[in-house]
Amino acid sequence: MTDRAGGPAAASTAGQFLDPGQPAGRRRMVSDAFAARFGTAPEVVGRAPGRINLIGEHTDYNGGRCLPLALPHATYAAVRRRDDDVVTIHSRTVDETWSGSLADLAAAGGWAAYAAGTLWAMEVDHGVDLLIDSSVPVGSGLSSSAALECAVAVATDGLSGRHLDEARRRELATACRRAETEVAGAPTGGMDQLVAMLAPEGDALLIDFHDDSVRAVPVPLAEVGLELLVIDTGVRHALADGAYAARRRECAAAAHLLGVPLLARAAQDSWSRLEDDVLMRRARHVLSEGERVDTADQAIVEGEWAELGAVLDASHASLAHDFEVSCEELDAAVESSRAAGALGARMTGGGFGGSAIALVETDDVGVVAASVLAEYASRGWSAPTFLRVGPSPAADTVP
């Protein structure tokens, strides 16, 4: 069973390049909408990016490494402090309003759980009016959920005028992750909130979930005439959430059999000791993906772009065959990108729909997008949406 994700807004951009807009223009839009709804200007506007994961998929909850980068596409949150304990949150994306008291925050459901849950996890002790707008496609594997949480977090934190240093950014990332796992009820490994809060502008962020350490990885693609093309398939298969939980259980079972607390801590070739074919393949993906993160990191440092493309391809194959989280729409996006000249391509995010990324020469972006569009049309599928992306700044207030 397949859902078309994103509703009318996504449908109207299908087959096109999705413009992230400029922060100043987006700030004006969200401030004007806030004033129209709440009668005064907001005190603070926060911005938090969506993300792609370059490589290192399904590794965060296994204590492994990943290499995400922040997108220019972002969620904006305008906020004003209230003197009572009333919280009102309006999202222009879904055109819905949630309202309640501070005591109701942890009981918010649906989309509001991500926003109200963030205020709950931050232990906000006063009411707020919030207005949300976004250029991140929703439910497309580009982490609109963390973008929503982190936009709410930096905007609301900004009411105090406190400086956002790395320690505070990490605290907010933890609060956002708690909102997603404990209030929205979506198990998440932590990559999305950390990259949204810590991404260095212009760089990808290598995160090692062994100790939650981070390191900036400069990715000078534009300088060498390359870019990353995101293909949002527009589909989200209904089994996605259940399968994600199942993969987590399988990884935990494999780790247990190998005698380690988290699968990424097992010795590199220890997967071959597992007798169960499914657990063996899950472990082989997680352990080999860790090696591919290192290979990608090295290829980027050395400017070996063909090598980077090859390791993206290898990651996709592992996710499709060993981890079994791809689907025919993702495979088609990846294969037609490569056929049209991409240096490499892979699914990104949890899988079962959502988005793929392709490493493409800037001159070939149009050809690659046209090739994917033609492939989708020939299969009778709706047109995907494309995003041209490069490493963008982390969440912050927008002055």
Q: Which range binds ligand ADP by CB under 6 A, 37-45, 65-73, 130-138, 313-321?
A: 130-138
Helix, strand, or coil (residue 369): helix
**111 contact choice in Mg ion, ligand ADP, none (CB below 5 to 8 Å, kind-dependent):** ligand ADP
Kindly name the residue from 192, 208, 232, 297 that is annotated as catalytic.
192
* Shortest CB 226 distance to ligand ADP, Å: 25
- DSSP code, position 160: T
Pairwise CA distance, residues 160 & 172, whole Å:
14
* Shortest CB 144 distance to Mg ion, Å: 6
Residue 202, H or E segment: none
DSSP class per residue in 226-287: EEEEEEEEEEEETTHHHHHHHHHHHHHHHHHHHT-SSGGGS-TTGGGG--SHHHHHHHHHHH
Site for Mg ion, residues 128 to 167, rule: CB under 5 A: 143, 145
* Shortest CB 275 distance to ligand ADP, Å: 34
157 is a catalytic site residue: no
355 binds Mg ion (CB under 5 A): no
* Shortest CB 142 distance to ligand ADP, Å: 6
**134 contact choice in Mg ion, ligand ADP, none (CB below 5 to 8 Å, kind-dependent):** ligand ADP
Helix count and strand count (H, E) for the chain: 11, 14
Instruction: Tell me whether residue 283 or residue 325 sits nearer to Mg ion (CB atom).
Output: 325
End-to-end CA distance of the chain: 44
Site for ligand ADP, residues 4 to 33, rule: CB under 6 A: none
- CA 63 to each of CA 154, 190, 286, 324: distance values in angstroms, whole numbers, following the listed order: 27, 10, 10, 20
Identity of the residue numbered 96: E
93 binds ligand ADP (CB under 6 A): yes
Residues recognised as catalytic: 192
Residues within the interface to Mg ion (CB under 5 A): 143, 145
Residues within the interface to ligand ADP (CB under 6 A): 75, 91, 93-94, 110-111, 114, 132, 134, 138-145, 148, 186, 349
